[in-house]
Structure formats: C-alpha cells, structure tokens
Amino acid sequence: MKAEIFDIKRYAVHDGPGIRTTFFLKGCPLHCLWCQNPESMHREQEIVLTQIKCIGCGACKAACNKLDNTLRLPKSQCTLCGKCIEACKTGARHFAAKLLSPEETAMLASEDKLFYDLSGGGVTFSGGECLTHAQFMEHTLRLCKESGLHTTVDTCGFVPFETFKRVLPYTDLFLYDIKILDPLRHKEYTGQHNSLILSNVKALALAGANLILRVPLIPGYTDNPEDINAIGDFILQELHNDILRIELLQYNRLAASKYGNSTIYNDGGPGEYPLPDLTPQTKEYISHLSRILSDKGISVFCETI
C-alpha cells in the first residue's frame, strides 16, 4: 500500500509544536475557494509541467507523440509511463507526487528525530486531506509512534468518523480546520456542508483527543466578527472548551501563484485562482477577532506579518 505524497517539508515550524517534518498527501474531499495547495485536489498521480522551467525544446513531445501543441494530454490517454519526464532535461516535467509506503514514510520521518527531540517537534501529516488515505495513515502513524515520534494530523475533518477511530490511538495532536459554521456558506465556499466536520470534532473532543482548531481567515468570507463569535459559542457549548487552543490564520495570497498557467496539468489543472485580489487583515483587526474569543475564556493564538 502506497500513498501519493506531493511534498515533504523538513524543518517546518508552523505545523504543530517544535521542528517537524510535514508530509503532504494528495486528494481532498473539499474544494475551498482559497485552496493553498491546488496540486492536492486530485488524489491520483498526475504529470505536471512547471512553465517557468520550460525552455520549449520539444523533447517531451518527441518522446510522446500524443502530447498536443500545449504539451498537454488528457488523463484518460496518459499511461504515466514517465518517458516525457525522462526526456525533459530541465526538470520542467515531473510527476506531481512520490508514491511512498508507510515503511518508507516512517523512515524518512525518523531522519530528523534529533531535531524533534531537541525542540519538542515530530512528524505532521497534511494535504490535501491525509485521512482520505485511511489505511496508509493508520499504518504509518503506528510506525511513527513505534519509533518514538510525536505525531500530528492536520485535517479538514470531512472523513467518516470511522477513519478518526483508526488513527486516534497513534495521533498525539489534531490540527482541525473549522472554516465557518453557517452551513450554506460553508457549502458555497468549500463544496460541502459542514455537518460531518462538526459532528466529528465533537466526537473527537469526547474521545479525549488533543485538538487545536484552526480558522483560515479569508477576507469577506470567513473573517466576520459574527462568524468568529459563532465559532466561539460552538467551542463553549458543543466542545465544552475542551481544546488546547484555537488559531486564527491570517490570509495571504501566496497560493495564487500556483494557479493559472504557472503549472500546467495534463488534464487542465486547477484553472485560475477563484478569489479576487483580497487584502490580508491588519494586526489590529486580527487582535479584535482574537479578543472575541479570549473574552469567552478560549485560548487563542494568531501569528501576523
């Protein structure tokens, strides 16, 4: 059993406590308008072309006569043989993901154990939605725990609770996204209702999981004081404040560069960044949102630039 891992970030400091290695797995059941990792939307392996590295030499087209003049090929016709990648000498063409087994992943995760031990860090699994790979995650987390690593799962929460039950014994911390409580706007912004996400987080709190909730603050979408107030009430009434803290994540536009023609996928890719040019929140505004929660007795963390 292998999982499609599209990125491995070493020495990460924002994905849980201490210094960490973060594995990003492909595949996500949500399609958030502000998705930071559009390369993770589809679970299957893909061929990608990073435009900035392409010198237009045509070697890939010579290796694969099925490629059209824009160097694309519908997924249904691509055998993933990799000949176009071998032909490309600039590294512009590459597979979107590495396929790694739980054993390979746990071994890679253990390489920086010294740094984890010194900093109180460990390994984090993110995505996409890493828990769409339920069997892989259960097995990999168990191996990581057997190696003495602190384990964190970064999740959107939109998976069957059965999956949480499988990984719970091997997960030290969940970073759990709560985007917005209004079910209709949640559906509009992410493509899915939030009832499963909310029932899962309640069940996790009841099961004694260590939870840090995270709210991506998208200007005009999820950062209204009323919405933050509603999340605060949910934490008090439904979770009985049984979380380690809530983190408010300031908006940034870094993801926009991953859209459009910067990276071409054989099958079209994520298209243009769907949000307009939004301005990140000021420190003062985030402090105001933070106070709404801290005034309720909820522990809040926010990092601003």
Residues that bind ligand SF4 (CB under 6 A): 47, 49, 54-60, 63-64, 66-67, 71, 73, 78-84, 87-88, 90, 92-93
Residue type for position 296 = K
Nearer of residues 190 and 266 to ligand SF4, judged by Cβ: 266
For the bound state, the minimum distance from the C-beta of residue 24 to ligand SF4, rounded and expressed in Å, comes to 22
Q: How far apart are CA 221 and CA 118, in angstroms?
A: 39
Q: How far apart are CA 166 and CA 183, in angstroms?
A: 27
Q: Where are the alpha helices (DSSP H) in the chain?
A: 59-63, 83-87, 102-110, 113-119, 134-146, 161-167, 183-190, 195-206, 225-237, 283-294
Nearer of residues 79 and 279 to ligand SF4, judged by Cβ: 79
For the bound state, the minimum distance from the C-beta of residue 61 to ligand SF4, rounded and expressed in Å, comes to 7
For the stretch 195-205, what's the b/e string if a residue is b when 16 or more beta carbons lie within 10 angstroms of its beta carbon? Answer: eebbebbbebb
Nearer of residues 28 and 84 to ligand SF4, judged by Cβ: 84
Q: How far apart are CA 30 and CA 7, in angstroms?
A: 19
Nearer of residues 54 and 244 to ligand SF4, judged by Cβ: 54
For the bound state, the minimum distance from the C-beta of residue 133 to ligand SF4, rounded and expressed in Å, comes to 23
For the bound state, the minimum distance from the C-beta of residue 197 to ligand SF4, rounded and expressed in Å, comes to 36
Nearer of residues 49 and 204 to ligand SF4, judged by Cβ: 49
Nearer of residues 176 and 265 to ligand SF4, judged by Cβ: 265
For the bound state, the minimum distance from the C-beta of residue 272 to ligand SF4, rounded and expressed in Å, comes to 22
> Do you find a cis peptide bond into 128, omega within 30 degrees of 0?
yes
Beta strands in the chain (DSSP E): 3-12, 20-25, 47-50, 93-95, 98-100, 122-127, 151-155, 173-177, 211-216, 245-249, 263-265, 300-303
Nearer of residues 79 and 237 to ligand SF4, judged by Cβ: 79
Tokens of 220: 């005009």
For the bound state, the minimum distance from the C-beta of residue 101 to ligand SF4, rounded and expressed in Å, comes to 22
For the bound state, the minimum distance from the C-beta of residue 92 to ligand SF4, rounded and expressed in Å, comes to 4
Find out whether 27 and 126 touch, Cβ atoms under 8 Å.
no
